[in-house]
């Protein structure tokens, strides 16, 4: 598989930028690592995000098989669903989204704004599933029903995270390696959110292919470390399988579940601080579900000394900013005074700086 097997959607290469103000806020130039960001929030397509890369492979395969519609699944605020709907629209295909109302304790805005709103703007049909329903079984039944009707549906798994979709992030890692070389940047570690696992798996496959000594540190947004590692490991082997290679134990597989908090899509104080901090230090928007929690993890590693001041760290920004508009209550009622430090504390359900 190579770039000739894709339909171009993303604006590539995405930027590779240094974050000096963030590093300074986390301890000063001498006490914090060099922090860079790989900005896949800037893929451009349908609001940007990492799924555009995966959909380039998946959409090409769908068209190759004569599909007339795309079917995928996810949570109500799925970034993947939003970009799948847009990819279908751009290529004249219908799109059916099976979205599960699986995130508890969210307000009405969660079910009317953000990615949900954009799904409708892109013209997708949405079927809302209850948290108690078996979404995988419903997806299988839906595909069978559509086929029986004479349709040619193409199913894309959650997050676009199968071997073919994950392959896009092997390409992306090689893109980053070329940019780092041009910048004279010696990378020690990549930090990213780990959800459906495809982005993490593709990056690991790319690191191995390029023979790089980079550590890839994923922060789970939903599963335990053990569960997430199993998912990512399986996908790495699937990627190698596409190329006719066999692989056993995956070296350097590191998934941390310290930032999951109450669960998938559930806000944490550390996430709120991270979103606020990066916005005010660097003018970059993170999201509440994925990148906000991964950045909270990076901040924690720096503050604890687990990432040393002599390291160079790349934060892989996977996008998701439209999700912010589904969490307005999470970012209300707190304030920060940039010059008085960045220590946050909870007070009356707000995040304050004293």
Annotated catalytic sites, by residue?
78
Half-sphere exposure at residue 35, Cβ-oriented, CA atoms within 13 angstroms: 30
Task: Determine the Cα–Cα distance for residues 197 and 265; give it in Å rounded to an integer.
Answer: 16
Query: Are the CB atoms for 285 and 319 separated by under 8 Å?
Result: no
Question: Sign (positive/negative) of CA torsion 296, 255, 30, 211?
Answer: negative
Query: Are the CB atoms for 53 and 160 separated by under 8 Å?
Result: no
Euclidean distance between the first and final Cα of the chain, in Å? 54
Nearest to 277 by CA among 258, 260, 261, 300: 300
Which uninterrupted H or E stretch holds 189?
Answer: strand 189-194
Query: Are the CB atoms for 216 and 184 separated by under 8 Å?
Result: no
Identify the DSSP state of 326. Answer: G
- Distant-in-sequence, close-in-space partners of 187: CB < 8 Å, separation ≥ 6: 36, 176, 180, 212, 214, 312, 313, 314
Structure tokens belonging to residue 337:
């005074």
Query: Are the CB atoms for 162 and 242 separated by under 8 Å?
Result: no
Task: Determine the Cα–Cα distance for residues 318 and 346; give it in Å rounded to an integer.
Answer: 28
Rounded to 5°, the CA angle 76-334-262 comes to 40
H-helix segments, 285-331: 291-304
Can you tell me whether residue 322 is helix, strand or coil? helix
Q: Please state whether beta strands 253-256 and 69-75 pair in parallel, antiparallel, or not at all (unpaired).
A: unpaired
Identify the DSSP state of 15. Answer: P
Question: Which phi and psi angles does 353 have, rounded to 5°?
Answer: -125, 125
């Amino acid at each position: 598989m190579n770039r000739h097997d894709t339909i171009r959607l993303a604006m590539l290469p995405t930027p590779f930028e240094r974050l000096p103000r963030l590093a300074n806020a986390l301890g000063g130039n001498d006490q914090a690592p060099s922090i860079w960001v790989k900005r896949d929030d800037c893929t451009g397509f349908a609001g940007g995000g990492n799924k555009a890369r995966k959909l380039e492979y998946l959409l090409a395969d769908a068209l190759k098989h004569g599909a007339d519609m795309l079917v995928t699944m996810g949570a109500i605020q799925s970034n993947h669903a939003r970009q799948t709907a847009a990819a279908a629209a751009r290529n004249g295909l219908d799109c059916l989204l099976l979205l599960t109302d699986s995130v508890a304790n969210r307000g009405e805005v969660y079910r009317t704004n953000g990615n949900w709103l954009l799904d409708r703007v892109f013209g997708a049909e949405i079927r809302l599933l209850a948290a108690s329903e078996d979404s995988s079984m419903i997806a299988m039944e839906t595909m069978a029903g559509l086929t029986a009707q004479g349709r040619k549906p193409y199913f894309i798994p959650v997050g676009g995270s199968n071997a073919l979709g994950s392959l896009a992030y092997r390409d992306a890692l090689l893109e980053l390696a070329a940019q780092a070389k041009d910048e004279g940047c010696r990378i020690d570690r990549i930090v990213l959110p780990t959800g459906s696992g495809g982005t993490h798996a593709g990056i690991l496959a790319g690191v191995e292919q390029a023979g790089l000594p980079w550590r890839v540190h994923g922060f789970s947004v939903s599963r335990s470390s053990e569960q997430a590692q199993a998912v990512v490991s399986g996908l790495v082997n699937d990627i190698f399988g596409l190329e006719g290679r066999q692989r056993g134990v995956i070296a350097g597989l590191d998934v941390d579940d310290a930032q999951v908090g109450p669960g998938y899509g559930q806000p944490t104080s550390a996430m709120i601080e991270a979103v606020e901090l990066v916005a005010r230090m660097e003018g970059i928007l993170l999201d509440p579900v994925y990148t906000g929690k991964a950045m909270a993890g990076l901040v924690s590693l720096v503050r604890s000394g687990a990432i040393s001041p002599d390291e160079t760290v790349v934060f892989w920004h996977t996008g998701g900013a439209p999700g912010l508009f589904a969490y307005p209550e999470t970012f209300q009622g707190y304030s920060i005074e940039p010059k008085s430090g960045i220590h946050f504390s909870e007070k009356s359900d707000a995040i304050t700086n004293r």
